[in-house]
Structure 1
């Protein structure tokens, strides 16, 4: 496998001639690089006018390898040939080095270049590329590759420091300036003012021509090592190299229309610094942004009034690392109401607008704080979360948002703080976590249990300054988030009454119940730990809802739950051949009865504790039973139910329900 490295541009704030003198001080030995034992000059010649100097050296390097490996390869030293071509006229030094030892087994090629900064003639730039190809090395290819890259990385890291060291040594000796090379012929020829003026004009043209061949100031700034550390953060050798390679690859593909370096770095991190994968991901994202005009979102997006009035989220200061902090009170969010009033596409647009705001705030934070801020922090309050948030269209919309955000905003999430997670949260987490990239999942921190205030004092303040703890969590900082709660039904515009599944059948069932009539949904299961879920809307009248259990394991499929449905007329005394379930007779109640009023939307869940038949029961009550009958009209309702297999929850179902510690991490307790 060929390992390749391409450095960012390193800038020495010293003139070229002075840097060259310091560079010569590195030879014949360099104490700062212990593996560089010494060198012999095998060629040193200059052109007739002295403008070109060519030097070749045979360099001796110590093999820093385990003793056993040294014994196997039979050498303590390896030799490299280094060829330098110094072009004094154009102030440029080009270096090429390759290995002489083991040349048939290993190929190492390094190319370096020193040149004058295109916009500041008093500065000098340095860049380098290298490739390592270990073809056959006594069966130690992987070991040698790791050793070679490790040693190379150490030497690269010291390279700039060494030049600075020798420049300082020269200054101690009183050498602060080295006169640039002058063409001997021009130095000896008398010139008049017109000739000088002509030469100056020619010089300007040549300078302009030379500049066009060198990286522009914009490129120098964006790819300099100082720029990377200041605006992007500390990167290791290969990460710097991959960033340079991706930028050059994107420039070849898109010309000047290349995203900024922080964006390139995010996509590289999102694909483990594999350049080709990052390039493919970024290219697809750029097509997506163009197709849907995402770049105009910040200027043109106007949140619907329903969002302004009922969406419980907003930006709130920053965390302790300077990351912009976004707060979402998901437990207070009326998912169904928002979807029915603005639709899935508008909710996605809202999420994308938040992401775009996050990018802008990160850029502002980087400028303000003087260090790179490339991610934002998300705090999600789950107080009030229940099964109504697992409404099927709502989950579908959430998964769509996650998929699009993961594909187009990789590595923008620095930390996700999940606050006041209730018992039903593992169900939601299991449904959505598989759609979240592992890098992002590992950034989730969960706070749960009953003594929440204690957790705030010992937990949240690890990540958020006490002065910025939100007021709804007992802190002093006002958030001004909406607390209006449920979206009024008169604002509904989208009809989710009859969504259809992939097979074209109705996802929701509609039934009518006469006065005193009961409807049962019987679910046979032997899957202990499975989760029964239900979601229904009472469209007319009042009903009583109950969940029952009959302990009967005969003929139950151990892999799947089987369902049957029946309506029973209790009020007219008619006999029925269909089975009837009655509390205290042949079954027990496992969830409290709920009186559901006209217009209510009910969601819920039950974890299977024992095998048998579980019954979802709706009843249009008799007069005087729980509540008076308001009329003789039939009750109408629309319902959906599902059994989620226990296999989806092993290792995660009880982790939050039984939590006693202040926090747990998704990577350790919820993702097994």
Structure 2
């Protein structure tokens, strides 16, 4: 399989490539055929494989078998074609590259360990790959395949960036081709009448566990001839240290599972997900470098994937963002908020929002009648902390509904749709403490629930909306802003309106649909429910709102104002403003 991973895809990283080793880790791919059949199909790929054009041929350098026939090791030199610019090939002085591949067949354990490294330009570029075929842990008649690879570009005539791009293109084109090739040859074997192959048994037993198929078993039968040191080859790589085949564990990600529950990902995205997941597992088991977030359980795969998407699959940035969020979740016991949070009775009447079936794509649908909501009254009666807890419980409920809809609709659903009804929005909604609370809510949600909003449909936007948008939009992530659709007046009722995203029988009656919606209408919160500052402070809730990075100040015309800016990787900066 080395020719599928001969160049490893990696994330965009500036700086000195000589010190950077890019790694790829695949999910487990499953062939629903016995190990022996898969091995027969694998052998058909040699010495050449027309199904993989970059593979030009191979030559066996050595072949050795143990005395009992239980282990067979084959060393090959493989010739590959690399689709590179003519100028680069001319400067490098090569048209093809060569790899050394060592295959260790262990018939007793039913594993094949494949180790490969580049021979061409090995002093400038190091490409290594390890693959393993093994028996599925839950079904002995299925075969698992997994692989890992790394790319270390030390120097390449000043064309390091070009080599990166070639690696990306070559890898993306070929990584999933391997399973297709095996499946092709499996079908070919079955068409030839070979559906089962004997398993290896120790010579002294002389019995077999499966029917024999001599025409297929012959090329796979271990040869008794051996002039090489089998032990040294079995425990050492073609060029390097020891390596042992591994059996897929239950906590490893399966490719079919990823596609079924997380969606179609590119090979690079799969690798990022697996690497971040493995890092979390290792940190959780041992002494974590980010011990402050270490909790009872590892976050779910869809949760990890949201943070990767929020940071465009930059592993370092996603890891930093996720660790900060996990620490926050542990500190404030967010995992238990749905069980622990009990909103006051009046909140159910005056908070004009609620879940309402799902949209046409199966995404959970949330209706928020912000224009009918007395934000000032809610803040005065509840306090910012309690209001935030309610919003967080809504987000937690949303994730739970996404999981349920994934099972119901049979496809990955990881986000929800929100209809934001602004009818009734006016200047009273621009009450400064209320806007401040809104910005803090956005800050917390953006940091801890990235990529959960699939679409925001803003309807009946009044004239005052641009003012509110000007205040709020700078604090909303660009990826999130692109999911906003704004309808003014009654435009949401026509072509391209809500019916494009929500079935008419689901659209609430107050928006011209056929569905009676039980989302509260909101209204003014009675002042009798208002609490004093002291009462709000003594509610007993742990504070969720840390000091926000956003600050406000009153500045007289013509007077200077000095502020301070601090970033985790940037020293504190002093900035002066003149008005």
**Is the TM value for this pair above 0.5?**
yes
Given candidates 475, 493, 507, the residue that maps to 2:513 is 475
Given candidates 129, 150, 172, the residue that maps to 1:110 is 129
Which 5+ residue runs of structure 1 have no aligned equivalent? 190-211, 510-522, 526-556, 561-644, 648-672
**Contact 1:306–1:341 under 8 Å retained in 2:** no
Given candidates 269, 284, 294, the residue that maps to 2:334 is 294
> CA 1:558 to 1:461, structure 2 compared with 1: closer, same or farther past 3 Å?
farther
Deviations 1:139-185 (A, max 9, x none): 22111111122212222111111111100000000100011111113
CA-CA distance at 1:336 after TM superposition:
0.5
CA-CA distance at 1:188 after TM superposition:
8.1
Aligned residue in 1 for 2:304:
264
**Contact 1:250–1:279 under 8 Å retained in 2:** no
Aligned residue in 2 for 1:399:
439
- Are residue 307 (structure 1) and residue 347 (structure 2) matched? yes
Q: Distance in 2 between matches of 1:90 and 1:458?
A: 60
Given candidates 529, 533, 537, the residue that maps to 1:491 is 529
- Counterparts of residues 269-668 of structure 1 (less than 5 Å): 269-448=309-488, 450=489, 452-453=490-491, 455-495=493-533
> CA 1:559 to 1:459, structure 2 compared with 1: closer, same or farther past 3 Å?
farther
> CA 1:139 to 1:238, structure 2 compared with 1: closer, same or farther past 3 Å?
same
Which 5+ residue runs of structure 2 have no aligned equivalent? 1-16, 209-244, 286-295, 538-546, 562-576
Aligned residue in 1 for 2:251:
219
Aligned residue in 2 for 1:140:
159
Aligned residue in 2 for 1:29:
48
Q: Distance in 2 between matches of 1:382 and 1:181?
A: 71
- Counterparts of residues 47-126 of structure 1 (less than 5 Å): 47-126=66-145
Deviations 1:619-651 (A, max 9, x none): xxxxxxxxxxxxxxxxxxxxxxxxxx9x9xxxx
* 1:185 alignment partner, SS class: coil
**Contact 1:12–1:123 under 8 Å retained in 2:** yes
Deviations 1:284-313 (A, max 9, x none): 222222222222222232221221111111
- Are residue 17 (structure 1) and residue 18 (structure 2) matched? no
**Contact 1:343–1:494 under 8 Å retained in 2:** no
* 1:86 alignment partner, SS class: strand
> CA 1:508 to 1:71, structure 2 compared with 1: closer, same or farther past 3 Å?
closer
Aligned residue in 1 for 2:189:
170
CA-CA distance at 1:272 after TM superposition:
1.9
Aligned residue in 1 for 2:284:
254
CA-CA distance at 1:278 after TM superposition:
2.2
Q: Distance in 2 between matches of 1:454 and 1:248?
A: 45
> CA 1:3 to 1:412, structure 2 compared with 1: closer, same or farther past 3 Å?
same
Deviations 1:502-527 (A, max 9, x none): 9xxxx999xxxxxxxxxxxxx998xx
Q: Which structure shows the bigger proportion of residues in strand conformation? A: 1
Query: How many residues end up aligned between the 2 structures?
Result: 485
The alignment's TM-score, normalised by the length of structure 2, stands at 0.79
CA-CA distance at 1:409 after TM superposition:
1.1
Q: Distance in 1 between matches of 2:311 and 2:297?
A: 22
Q: Distance in 2 between matches of 1:260 and 1:279?
A: 14
Aligned residue in 2 for 1:615:
none
> CA 1:52 to 1:314, structure 2 compared with 1: closer, same or farther past 3 Å?
same
* Pair member with larger Rg: 1
Q: Distance in 2 between matches of 1:235 and 1:465?
A: 29
Q: Distance in 2 between matches of 1:262 and 1:254?
A: 18
- Are residue 40 (structure 1) and residue 59 (structure 2) matched? yes
Supply the RMSD in Å over aligned alpha carbons. Answer: 2.7
CA-CA distance at 1:279 after TM superposition:
2.5
